[in-house]
Structure 1
Amino acid sequence: MTKRSSPAKTGPQHLVLLSIDLLDSSLHYPGDHPPFESFHFDVHITSKADDEKSQVLVVVTIGVHHETIASQLGSLTINCTFTMSNFADVVRLNAAGQPDMPDDLVETLHSTALSTARGVMFATFRGTFLHHALLPLITPGSLTEDKKINS
């Protein structure tokens, strides 16, 4: 008797980034201070799904801090909207209404949204006192919930 292999996991097909929306940004200049050389980042990432539109929305919020200043220096929130041709086969809503997706899809969506946030952050803070606050590269899968990053 031969053992049957389990069916292959369904992955996203024709994954598309539909939009990038800057939801919020702020700068809080701390006054006279030597140039900043190192920063700390609070990164929050959440996903939600819109079944009617067959879309996944990934919201990334980044807070920028410095170790010698108690208050937040700046922040940025973006929304990335994704779709895929086989949305109904890949994305399910759990009892809490949150999307239940394969881990590799979550990793891809989060990684893409973080990279996009990095670019939007650079463009938004360019020429300000946060010009050198560059979000470091984050290993895919290492950011599951809220995380503090140092650079």
Structure 2
Amino acid sequence: MTKRSPQTKPTPQQLALQSIDLLESSLHYPGEHPPFSSFHYNIHITSKADDEKNLVLVTVKIAVHNENIHQQLGSLAVNCVFTMSNFAEVVRLNAAGQPDMPDDLVEHLHSTALSTARGVMFATFRGTFLHHAVLPLIAPGAVTEDKK
């Protein structure tokens, strides 16, 4: 995603989370194993814009691992759909068709999508062997967007 220069800094108005979609989830039970006490997470974030519908779609994919097990224990993909009243002023599509948005908006959308994915992840894995795999709080800007 390209970054817009500071001089052009429109701010989103009436930014809202329109929908939350669980795209996929999986559990891979490793068999008899003592309860897991620590987890590692691979997180991937991608953004797309639908300029016809004035929507920004942020997809968060999370893979759950443990240092003692060589297989992935679980995964989750959540899509968060955002809308804003001044979409055309704030979001542009670059030559590659990717959304070009102000850095602070990207950070806000990513933070909201990560928090939303954390809640969906807890609800999805609740009562399973991944019950305690709660995604930790992540500093805004710490996860960069995949360029795919």
Q: Which amino acid aligns with 1:64?
A: V
- Aligned-partner Cα distance in 2 for 1:92–1:120: 29
In structure 2, give the amino acid aligned to 1:57. L
Question: 1:83 — aligned with what?
Answer: 83
Q: Which runs of no fewer than 5 residues in structure 2 stay unpaired?
A: 1-5
In the alignment, the residues of structure 1 paired with residue 49 and residue 86 of structure 2 have an alpha-carbon distance, to the nearest angstrom, of: 14
Inter-partner Cα distance in structure 1 for 2:7 and 2:21 = 37
Residue 122 of structure 1: how far off its partner (Å): 0.2
Which residue of the partner structure matches residue 44 of structure 1? 44
Aligned to 2:93: 93
Tell me the amino acid that sits aligned with residue 36 of structure 2.
Answer: F
Give the structure 2 partner of residue 138 of structure 1. 138
The Cα of 1:145 is off from its aligned counterpart by: 3.3
Question: Could you tell me the TM-score, scaled by structure 2's length?
Answer: 0.93
**Aligned equivalents of 2:99, 2:8: Cα separation in 1:** 20
Moved over 3 A (4+): none
CA RMSD in angstroms, aligned pairs only: 1.3
Could you give the per-residue CA deviations for residues 94-137 of structure 1, whole angstroms, max 9, x where no partner exists? Answer: 00000000000000000000000000000000000000001000
Distance 2:48 2:8 in 1: 25
Deviation, structure 1 residue 142: 1.2
Residues in 2 aligned to 1:28 and 1:8: alpha-carbon distance in whole angstroms: 47
Give the whole-Å Cα distance in 1 for the aligned partners of 2:131 and 2:40. Answer: 14
**Helix, strand or coil for the counterpart of 1:119?**
helix
Judged with a 3 Å threshold, the aligned counterparts in structure 2 of structure 1 residues 11 and 35 are, in CA distance, closer, same or farther, namely same
What is the match of residue 3 of structure 1?
none
Does residue 54 of structure 2 align to residue 54 of structure 1?
yes
Give the TM-score normalised by structure 1: 0.91
Q: Summarize the Cα distance change of 1:28–1:121 in structure 2 as closer, same or farther, 3 Å threshold.
A: same
- Equivalent position of 1:149 in the other structure: none
- Counterpart residue type for residue 98 of structure 1: Q
Cα distance in 2 between the residues matched to 1:33 and 1:133:
15
Give secondary structure in 2 for the equivalent of 1:19. Answer: strand
